[in-house]
């Protein structure tokens, strides 16, 4: 899925966000939003939770009225809404999605023809209630980009201020994206969804949402200046999507699960707990899952060499770094040897890849993924011994371990 470079911002630990999907049409009247943004100096208690329920999203009726007025739409229908918050915070700095709505507008202004794929009969809008707060004692900075990626739709869906006339990002622009100590910005952003993307949402019911990052220096989006790094979170955009997210909650967070690349069927869900150590780094094999994976229509061409179907083995490893140097957790990899003969390399296309650091004294987890042909697994591999050989890397992408330094064996018998 393509991302807008300047909008590639933050998400959180991979989460499946459930929400109600009741479709309803709202009778709207034209009324003016009193303010798009609230700036507050009130200090709030810091929380480490990544998800908060029943968040204060503001007045949806009011924002719907404004959207209908600005777009001159004759009809506005709410397709899905969520009041569960997505929160990412660190060191007194917080970015939050308080909630969101996915609405359909019909027969709108000709000025929006280009925005909605050269037509004005039908379009989607994702309305987002968001808060950016600085409870630290120094100013922080954000580019305040808001982007959504829909499975099967090639382009990123980005914030468009013309849908509301003014939004929270406009207020941040006025202060050059600076959030001063004890200051908070709360408001809305709107993202236009073209009919083609609406069709993909109808098929899959989910999307990946990118939240803004927070940085210690103005106009610098470098990793070393990030207080909160860019990450993504999955959101549901239909009742079916919410049900799917709930059903997928049991699956490990590889890319197939997190980015909704297809359907999984659980074959084996095995807890483990074996540990190994390398130069102060304690590595635990928490467990592994073996699933039958059916890629969706857009992903299917990538698996054309799997003639009889796809079997995915996802291993979860947790690393406690008590060594002397920072590790590159995101680059942690492994090989899988089956029956002392067949050796498989991990599948990058099914892993969540990043360059997340793991400093001394910290702990983190990585999901490592392998793909097998279904017939080979059922006839040759199923009852063999598996050996997972984990490799650790430093911040210069240099491999630190040799073969069998961090090896774990298991069997499905």
Q: What is the pLDDT of residues 164-186, one digit of tens each?
A: 999 999 999 999 999 999 999 99
Q: What is the CA radius of gyration of the chain?
A: 23
Confidence of residue 224 (pLDDT cuts 50, 70, 90): confident
Residue 141 in this model has a pLDDT that exceeds 90: yes
Distance from C-alpha of 21 to C-alpha of 358, rounded to nearest angstrom: 38
The model's pTM: 0.60
Calculate what percentage of the chain has a pLDDT beyond 90.
51
**Structure-model confidence comparison of residues 159 and 23, the more confident one:** 159
Say if residue 392 is exposed, middle or buried (CB neighbours under 10 Å; 0-12, 13-18, 19+).
Answer: buried
Tell me whether domains 5-244 and 260-411 share a fold: yes
pLDDT recorded at residue 58: 67
Interval 206-215 mean pLDDT: 88
Spatial distance between the Cα atoms of 123 and 79, rounded to a whole number of angstroms: 12
User: Of 154, 113, 136, 125, nearest to 46 (Cα)?
Assistant: 136
Across the chain, what does the average pLDDT equal?
82
pLDDT > 80? residue 257: yes
- CATH (one of 3.30.450.20, 2.60.40.4170, 3.40.50.300, 1.10.287.130) for 5-244: 2.60.40.4170
**Predicted local distance difference test score (pLDDT) of residue 11:** 36
Residue 241 pLDDT: 53
Residue 32 pLDDT more than 50?
Answer: no
- Which CATH code is given to the segment(s) 260-411? 2.60.40.4170
62-98: pLDDT as tens digits: 999 999 999 999 999 999 998 888 888 888 999 999 9
pLDDT digits (tens, 9 = 90+) for 335-366: 999 987 789 999 988 988 777 888 898 898 99
């Amino acid at each position: 899925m393509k991302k807008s470079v300047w909008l590639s911002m933050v998400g959180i630990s991979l989460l499946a966000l459930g929400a109600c999907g009741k479709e309803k049409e709202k009778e709207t009247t034209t009324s003016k939003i009193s303010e798009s943004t609230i700036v507050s100096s009130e200090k709030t208690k810091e929380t480490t939770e990544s998800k908060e329920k029943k968040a204060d999203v503001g007045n949806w009726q009011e924002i719907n009225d404004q959207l209908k007025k600005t777009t001159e739409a004759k009809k506005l229908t709410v397709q899905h809404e969520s009041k569960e918050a997505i929160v990412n915070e660190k060191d007194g700095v917080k970015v939050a999605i308080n909630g969101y709505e996915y609405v359909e507008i019909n027969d709108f202004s000709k000025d929006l023809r280009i925005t909605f794929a050269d037509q004005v009969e039908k379009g989607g809008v994702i309305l987002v209630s968001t808060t950016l707060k600085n409870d630290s004692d120094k100013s922080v900075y954000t580019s305040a980009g808001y982007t959504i990626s829909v499975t099967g739709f090639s382009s990123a869906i980005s914030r468009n201020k013309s849908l509301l006339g003014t939004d929270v990002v406009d207020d941040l622009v006025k202060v050059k994206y600076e959030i001063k100590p004890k200051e908070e910005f709360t408001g809305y952003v709107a993202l236009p969804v073209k009919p083609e993307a609406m069709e993909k949402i109808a098929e899959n019911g989910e999307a990946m949402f990118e939240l803004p990052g927070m940085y210690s220096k103005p106009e610098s989006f470098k990793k070393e200046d990030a207080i909160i790094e860019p990450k993504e979170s999955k959101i549901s955009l239909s009742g079916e999507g919410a049900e799917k997210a709930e059903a997928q909650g049991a699956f490990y967070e590889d890319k197939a699960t997190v980015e909704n690349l297809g359907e999984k069927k659980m074959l084996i869900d095995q807890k483990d707990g074996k540990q190994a150590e390398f130069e102060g780094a304690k590595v635990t094999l928490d467990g592994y899952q073996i699933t039958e994976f059916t890629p969706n229509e857009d992903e299917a061409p990538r698996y054309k060499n799997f003639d009889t179907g796809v079997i995915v083995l996802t291993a979860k490893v947790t690393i406690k770094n008590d060594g002397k140097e920072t590790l590159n957790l995101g680059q942690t990899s492994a090989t899988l040897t089956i029956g002392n003969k067949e050796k498989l390399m991990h599948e990058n296309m099914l892993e969540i890849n990043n360059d997340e650091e793991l400093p001394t004294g910290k702990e983190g987890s990585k999901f490592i993924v392998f793909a097998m042909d279904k017939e080979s697994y059922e006839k040759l591999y199923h009852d063999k011994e598996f050996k997972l050989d984990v490799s650790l890397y430093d911040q210069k992408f240099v491999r630190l371990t040799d073969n069998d330094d961090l090896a774990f064996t298991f069997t499905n018998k």
